[in-house]
């Protein structure tokens, strides 16, 4: 059988569609599947269809489906984790609609793990109940991506891979399509649709240590900002406490579900140190655990700490965490008998393109969902495993809204900060990543952030980028500048934004969002 043309994963390309989706992770594919009833759908992705952050998600997807659980408790946990900034309407929508979206995923072919005939539910930090559904043990994201990529082989859905969207077309204040480069030929293409959905994921690649794959460069947020959409909460970045940190090995997520099963964090002296930092110890909120690990690293002048699973005799670690077990084995660590060296790594952006609970941005015709979007559902700090759920809850709402024909746009924020983040680009991805890790990492202060901004401002403006790396570098620099401006302006610490020069939360001045718009 001849190999399929890599650019045409399903139907042939045309130039006008009912809907254009940018991104092929869970957000993009779920939206495409739900929207095929509206007419032909085009999915554009700059890599291959399954080159996305979703594939790397381990822990699972949160929904109050257990017999002792309730949406009210899921909601209370989501609000508590968000450190005073959660949009309660969005969070209520998320928690109430979660069980129905699990049923949708099952219909699309996702098979969640079970135990004794019931769905198996894992535990993660800051959840009052075991409510994390998982698939393939710790391969939840891969199981979802595999099922959805198979389901989108549909005559109504065209997937063009290796296609980089370089700008959104805006006519009379409305998004009407996209301009893109077909990376294999270098040709510029134009596609039109009455609605465009951004599902481009996060921006972990802004930092030198990250759990995110190379595609996660925040393109969608930069595209929307350039087109005039509002961007919110961009200073709130979540660092996952436990990523593998081993000389010569790539950064690899060691799921919070491992701590949920009882793994203990230890320092080089073998001390289980978390009790000194928080009563919930290993299951304290992520920002607390990440900073505790950094404090121990500093105290010991060490590159990392250890996650010790060797006492978990009742858990078959190779069966419960096959992906982590296999990866650790491949770098010479048997997690059943040896502690895993870990350190925090950039993981998830709470902020993004501002949307309402229908996924509408402030630009008519432009929608966003998943990590690209900011509904306010996570506030300053996301509750574990709410991210995969957010994609499908708000993805479904995007399609329902488009189908309703109501149109419109999200209401503009009451107070906007106009900003021009500059046009410069770093010489390499690594130059920007090192800078952001130092300037806007787990602990920030005014001088580190100002240094970061000064360096970005000193970078010269490149010509119009025609390759993926050049385009990414420009977009990453713009997003980094936005993040630094927002983080400098917020003179307090809250959730994922920790400033050593303003270590306390300041509700009187800062219990509010910052929303940015292009000057």
Which positions are catalytic?
286
Count of CA atoms in the C-beta half-sphere (13 A) of 41 = 26
Rounded Cα distance, 22 and 182, in Å: 14
- The site for ligand SIN, by CB under 6 A, has a size of 9
Helix axes 71-81, 88-107, angle to 10 degrees: 120
CB of 257 to ligand SIN, least distance (A): 6
333-352 residues near ligand SIN, rule: CB under 6 A: 348
One of 385, 448, 493, 513 touching ligand SIN (CB under 6 A) = 385
* 353 near ligand SIN, judged by CB under 6 A: no
One of 257, 264, 392, 440 touching ligand SIN (CB under 6 A) = 257
DSSP 411-462: PPPSS-EEE---S---SSHHHHHHHHHHHHSSSB-HHHHHHHHHHHHHSPPP
For ligand SIN, which stretch binds (CB under 6 A), given 89-97, 251-259, 404-412, 491-499?
251-259
For ligand SIN, which stretch binds (CB under 6 A), given 31-39, 166-174, 214-222, 381-389?
381-389
For ligand SIN, which stretch binds (CB under 6 A), given 31-39, 254-262, 275-283, 353-361?
254-262
CB of 354 to ligand SIN, least distance (A): 22
Residues in the chain: 519
One of 58, 176, 212, 455 touching ligand SIN (CB under 6 A) = 58
One of 256, 296, 308, 492 touching ligand SIN (CB under 6 A) = 256
One of 95, 105, 297, 384 touching ligand SIN (CB under 6 A) = 384
Q: E strands along 96-236, which residues?
A: 114-115, 118-119, 121-122, 132-133, 157-160, 163-171, 174-182, 187-192, 196-198, 231-232
Judged by DSSP in three states, 288 sits in helix
- Taking the least distance from each CB to ligand SIN, the nearer of 161 and 256 is 256
For ligand SIN, which stretch binds (CB under 6 A), given 23-31, 200-208, 222-230, 252-260?
252-260
Residue nearest to ligand SIN (CB): 59
* 387 near ligand SIN, judged by CB under 6 A: yes
The encoded tokens of residue 300 equal 């010991």
CB of 131 to ligand SIN, least distance (A): 12
* 27 near ligand SIN, judged by CB under 6 A: no
Rounded Cα distance, 166 and 161, in Å: 14
Phi, psi for residue 252 in degrees, rounded to 5: -145, 130
- Taking the least distance from each CB to ligand SIN, the nearer of 232 and 383 is 383
The residues facing 62 across adjacent strands are 132
The residues facing 397 across adjacent strands are none
The residues facing 360 across adjacent strands are 367
- Taking the least distance from each CB to ligand SIN, the nearer of 58 and 149 is 58
- Taking the least distance from each CB to ligand SIN, the nearer of 255 and 355 is 255
* 210 near ligand SIN, judged by CB under 6 A: no
Distance of CA 189 to the CA centre of its chain: 28
Contact status, residue 483 vs residue 237, Cβ threshold 8 Å: yes
* 59 near ligand SIN, judged by CB under 6 A: yes
The encoded tokens of residue 349 equal 């952006």
Integer angstrom CA distances of residue 478 from 197, 216, 486: 21, 14, 12
Rounded Cα distance, 439 and 232, in Å: 20
- Taking the least distance from each CB to ligand SIN, the nearer of 348 and 502 is 348
- Taking the least distance from each CB to ligand SIN, the nearer of 59 and 424 is 59
What b/e sequence results for 228-249 when a residue is b if at least 16 CB atoms lie within 10 Å of its CB, and e otherwise? bbbbbbbbbbbbbbbbbbbeee
For ligand SIN, which stretch binds (CB under 6 A), given 82-90, 227-235, 253-261, 362-370?
253-261
Rounded Cα distance, 137 and 120, in Å: 10
- Taking the least distance from each CB to ligand SIN, the nearer of 97 and 390 is 390
One of 27, 149, 217, 255 touching ligand SIN (CB under 6 A) = 255
- Taking the least distance from each CB to ligand SIN, the nearer of 387 and 514 is 387
Contact status, residue 129 vs residue 66, Cβ threshold 8 Å: yes
Rule CB under 6 A: which residues touch ligand SIN?
58-59, 255-257, 348, 384-385, 387
């Amino acid at each position: 059988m001849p190999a399929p043309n890599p650019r045409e994963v399903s139907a042939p390309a045309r130039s006008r569609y009912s809907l254009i989706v940018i991104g092929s992770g869970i957000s993009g594919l779920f939206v495409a599947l739900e929207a095929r009833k509206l007419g032909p759908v085009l999915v554009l992705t700059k890599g291959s269809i399954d080159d996305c952050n979703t594939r790397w998600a381990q822990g699972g997807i949160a929904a109050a489906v257990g017999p002792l659980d309730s949406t009210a408790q899921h909601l209370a946990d989501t609000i508590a984790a968000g450190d005073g900034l959660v949009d309660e309407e969005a969070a209520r929508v998320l928690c109430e609609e979660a069980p129905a979206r699990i049923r949708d995923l099952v219909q699309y072919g996702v098979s969640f793990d079970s135990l004794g005939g019931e769905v198996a539910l894992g535990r993660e930090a800051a959840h009052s109940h075991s409510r994390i559904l998982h698939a393939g043990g710790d391969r939840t994201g891969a199981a979802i991506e595999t099922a959805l990529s198979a389901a989108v082989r549909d005559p109504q859905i065209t997937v063009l891979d290796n296609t980089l969207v370089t700008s959104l077309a805006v006519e009379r204040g409305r998004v009407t399509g996209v301009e893109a480069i077909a990376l294999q030929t270098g040709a510029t293409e134009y596609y039109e649709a009455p609605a465009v959905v951004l599902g481009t994921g996060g921006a972990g690649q802004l930092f030198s240590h990250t759990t995110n794959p190379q595609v996660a460069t925040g393109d969608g947020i930069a595209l929307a900002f350039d087109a005039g959409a509002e961007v919110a909460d961009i200073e709130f970045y979540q660092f996952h406490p436990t990523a593998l940190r081993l000389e010569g090995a790539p950064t690899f997520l060691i799921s919070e579900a491992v701590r949920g099963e009882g793994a203990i964090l230890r320092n080089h002296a073998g001390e289980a140190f978390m009790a000194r930092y928080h009563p919930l110890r290993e299951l304290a909120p992520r920002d607390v655990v990440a900073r505790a690990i950094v404090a121990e690293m500093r105290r010991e002048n060490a590159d990392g700490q250890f996650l010790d699973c060797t006492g978990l005799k009742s858990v078959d670690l190779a069966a419960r965490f096959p992906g982590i077990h296999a990866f650790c084995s491949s770098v010479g660590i048997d997690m059943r008998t040896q502690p895993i060296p870990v350190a925090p790594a950039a993981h998830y952006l709470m902020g993004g393109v501002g949307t309402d609970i229908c996924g509408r941005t402030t630009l008519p015709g432009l929608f966003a969902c998943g990590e690209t979007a900011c509904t306010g559902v996570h506030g300053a700090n996301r509750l574990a495993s709410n991210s995969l759920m957010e994609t499908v809850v708000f993805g479904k709402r995007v399609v329902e809204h488009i189908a309703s024909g109501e149109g419109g746009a999200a209401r503009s924020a009451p107070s906007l900060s106009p900003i021009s983040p500059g046009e410069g680009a770093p010489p390499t991805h690594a130059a920007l990543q090192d800078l952001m890790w130092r300037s806007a990492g787990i602990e920030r202060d005014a001088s580190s952030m100002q240094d970061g901004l000064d360096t970005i401002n000193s970078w010269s403006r490149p010509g119009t980028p025609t390759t993926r790396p050049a385009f990414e570098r420009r977009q990453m620099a713009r997003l980094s500048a936005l993040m630094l401006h927002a983080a400098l302006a917020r003179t307090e610490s809250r959730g994922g934004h920790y400033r050593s020069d303003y270590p306390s939360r300041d509700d009187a001045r800062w219990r509010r969002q910052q929303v940015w718009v292009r000057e």
